Amino acid sequence: MYGKGLRTLSIATAVALTASLSLVFFYAPLEAEQGFLQKIFYVHVPLAIIALCGFVLGGLLAIQHLRTRDPRWDMRSYVVIHMSLIFAVGTLITGSIWAKGSWGHWWVWSEPTLVSFLIIFLLYATYQPLRFAIEDPERQARYASVFAITAGAFVPMNFIAVRLSTAYLHPRVLGSTSNLPGPMALTFLISLLALSLLFATLCKYELTAKHTRAQLRALRRRLSGETSAPTRPRSAAPSLHHVTPRARAARGSAL
């Protein structure tokens, strides 16, 4: 059951997001240098952190898939990477807006976070085409997992390399996240928590939706009397071998 706990999670997300927005606009003090523009920090940086953790998490889930060969791990890895990619796009857009406000350019090469995210975005944008180019579902899942692990290891490596390359150019445009004064730190943490909950809720939502559709397909096949697996059209999404744990045990003993 993927949907269990979805309601609680959604409510928690809504509460946290409201709290975070209230804190950002009514509690956090104005920063000395950038003034009101700095408030973007509370949405841009959490998006960045969560996207990066999401990509690494996608790699870890892929490791589990390769170890257990259970397609549900591949499903989780796929959803997490998909969601992280969306959060990465959000990071790029909000970062670009911040750069435009601070420096007048929509893109700056001197901000290592933005540059790293561009590279990572370009890398993970190939995830879906890679999956789509492999028709056999088992092989698709396996190759996607290899990619997810490689890319997940690449994320920190890329950050180190890009940060090194920009360190000696200009000072950081968008300010660092260390030594935040108290109220700002609290606001930042609450925002981070809220967006993490949002990420988790959306992923769970997606997993539940996919699972529901898989159940519907299986039900449809049962009712129309087919017994063989139907031919699916080509798709980049992982296929759920829909077997409940009880049934799998039964199958195992029967075979």
Partner 1 sequence: MILATLLAETPALPLHTAGKYVAGAYIVLFALVLIYVAIMAIRLSRIERDLGELLSMSASSPASSPEGEGEHAPRTTTAGAEHDEHTQDSQDPQPESTLA
Partner 2 sequence: MSGVQAPARPLQRTRSPMRTVGLWRTVGALLRKELLVELRTLESIPGMSLFAVTTFVVFHFALNRGSVEGDLASGILWVTLLFAAILGVNRLFVADADQGGFDAFLLAPVDRSAMFIAKALTLLAFLVVLELVAVPAFALLLLGTPLGPALPWLLVTLALGDLGVAVIGTLVAAMAVRTRARDLLGPLLALPLFVPIVIGGARAVAPLLVQSHVPAPAARWLLTLGLYDLVFGLIAYALFDFLLED
Residues that bind partner 2 (CB under 8 A): 66, 119-120, 122-123, 126, 129-130, 133-135, 139, 142-143, 145-147, 149-151, 153-154, 157-158, 160-162, 164-165
Non-local (6+) Cβ contacts of 171 within 8 A are none
Packed helices 112-124 and 41-68: angle between N→C axes, nearest 10 degrees? 40
Q: Measuring CA to CA, which residue among 70, 241, 81, 233 is closest to residue 147?
A: 81
Non-local (6+) Cβ contacts of 84 within 8 A are 50, 51, 52, 54, 55, 57, 58, 124, 199
What DSSP state is assigned to residue 23? I
Residue whose CB is less far from partner 2, 65 or 204: 65
Binding region for partner 1 (CB under 8 A): 21, 26, 29-30, 32-37, 39-40, 43-44, 47, 86, 89-90, 93-94, 97-98, 100-101, 198, 202, 205, 209-210, 212-225, 227-230, 232-244, 246-247, 250-251
Backbone CA torsion sign across 17, 20, 24, 27: positive
Smallest gap from residue 157 Cβ to partner 1 (A): 28
Beta bridge partners of 35: 31
Round to whole Å and give the CA distance between 5 and 200: 11
Residue whose CB is less far from partner 1, 155 or 202: 202
Separation in Å, CA 178 to CA 27, 39, 45, 53, 113: 19, 16, 12, 19, 15
Smallest gap from residue 46 Cβ to partner 2 (A): 24
Residue 66 binding result from partner 1, partner 2, none, given CB thresholds of 5 to 8 Å by partner type: partner 2
Non-local (6+) Cβ contacts of 14 within 8 A are none
Largest CA distance in the chain: 71
Residue whose CB is less far from partner 1, 168 or 246: 246
Residue 222 binding result from partner 2, partner 1, none, given CB thresholds of 5 to 8 Å by partner type: partner 1
Residue whose CB is less far from partner 1, 7 or 163: 7
Residue 164 binding result from partner 2, partner 1, none, given CB thresholds of 5 to 8 Å by partner type: partner 2
Residue 98 binding result from partner 1, partner 2, none, given CB thresholds of 5 to 8 Å by partner type: partner 1
Smallest gap from residue 76 Cβ to partner 1 (A): 14
Residue whose CB is less far from partner 2, 41 or 154: 154
Smallest gap from residue 55 Cβ to partner 1 (A): 17
Smallest gap from residue 231 Cβ to partner 2 (A): 17
Round to whole Å and give the CA distance between 239 and 255: 22
Smallest gap from residue 208 Cβ to partner 2 (A): 29
Smallest gap from residue 122 Cβ to partner 2 (A): 5
Beta bridge partners of 31: 35
